[in-house]
Amino acid sequence: MTRSERQALIDRGDSHLSIARHCQLLKVGRSTRYYRPAPVSDDDLAVMRRLDKQYFVTPFYDARRMAAVLRRDGLVVNRKRIRRLMRVMGIEAIYQKPNTSRRHPEHKIY
């Protein structure tokens, strides 16, 4: 059973068991029962739209370069914010990653 399914089993109207006991029996953190995710701010949405446009043009830019481009365009952003928003959006720079585990088929094995 997933965590969200276990959280759905917690019954606030149960008079016999407290919410703390429900969470303990279902092995769910009590703080997750009360957590409400914060909505994304309008400022972040505007930066994300700009990031998406720039990523479409230059998908090989990483967070540092994206921050520099957005700063040049007049937005007040830093690299950490850009990295977080890129992670939220599920985008990352396209570049050649190391592939050290694969051997070349023409190399002789000694």
Residues in the chain: 110
**Domain spans of the chain?**
3-34, 42-89
pLDDT digits (tens, 9 = 90+) for 92-102: 999 888 877 88
All residues at 6 or more sequence positions from 86 whose CB lies less than 8 Å from its CB, including other chains: 51, 63, 66, 92
* C-alpha distance from residue 86 to each of 16, 38, 39, 66 (Å): 46, 18, 17, 10
Buried b (16+ CB within 10 A) or exposed e, 37-47: eeeeeeeeeeb
Q: Which long-range contacts (CB under 8 A, 24 or more apart) does 60-66 make?
A: 60/93, 60/94, 60/95, 61/93, 62/92, 62/93, 62/95, 63/93
> Residue 15 pLDDT > 80, yes or no?
no
Q: What is the pTM of this model?
A: 0.66
pLDDT class of 79 with cuts at 50, 70, 90: very high
- Give the percent of the chain with pLDDT over 90: 51
